[in-house]
Amino acid sequence: MQIETFENPEALALHTAQYIIDLVRNKPDATLILTSGDTPVHTYKLITQMAEPGLFDKTTIVGLDEWVGIPPTSEGSCRYIVEENLLKPLNVNPEVYTFFDGLSDDLQSECKRIDKILLDKGGADFMIVGIGLNGHIGLNEPGTPFDLYCHVSQLADITVSVGQKYFKENTALTQGITVGLKHLMEAKTAVIIASGARKAGILKRTVEEKPDPELPSTIFQLHADGRIWADEAAAALI
């Protein structure tokens, strides 16, 4: 596991944006798994300023996860956050990207649909994730086996309460649908981005504890090219 520290959130976002742009310039048909959450928003905004038109035209982009029962038009959905901050401003063709449909009445088919995209591509070239305060990766909550592909998860209590920050109104969250950790292991490069002092404790545990499904982020220790990119506040304890 490689750890890189950046002076502040802006430097972290700039590095991440430049890395993604360079990756796609070198491999225009790259497969990317992109996360939502607060952490990547600045990165996505920078990409919209730095990328040339059409950069993502040949990529395959998959959204990391989605809240079950939440429509894609909700400001808290994964699709909304990635579309509004990255894909729409860049006019990325909707044919090259897809997200889980959290409203589907057949969530298992949704899982199989995303599995097939990733497996047909031979795994993602690059997967970027945030880290939950409980070590969740995507919506792979503590206790999730490392060898699952896409699946439906029961949300941890802390995920339900912290998740309220993405919504304007109090929102009932119970389940998630998520890219699984087996896809993470099969991604050529997997990166956790972390910003702010509240992530310092969980990053310390991620680095120091034995890999264990009870702390999903520890899977990064097992990844052939697993990286943590953190600003100084998040990296303060590692």
Binder to ligand PGA among 39, 43, 74, 77 (CB under 6 A)? 39
Nearer to ligand PGA, 39 or 153 (CB): 39
Binder to ligand PGA among 10, 29, 38, 84 (CB under 6 A)? 38
Binder to ligand PGA among 9, 76, 132, 176 (CB under 6 A)? 132
Residue 225 is a binding residue for ligand PGA (CB under 6 A): no
Binder to ligand PGA among 6, 13, 30, 37 (CB under 6 A)? 37
Active site residues: 65, 134, 136, 141
Total chain residues near ligand PGA (CB under 6 A): 6
Residue 176 is a binding residue for ligand PGA (CB under 6 A): no
The two three-digit tokens of residue 173, written as one number: 């969250």
Which one of 33-41, 111-119, 169-177, 226-234 is the stretch in contact with ligand PGA (CB under 6 A)?
33-41
Residue 75 is a binding residue for ligand PGA (CB under 6 A): no
Residues in the site for ligand PGA, rule: CB under 6 A?
37-39, 130-132
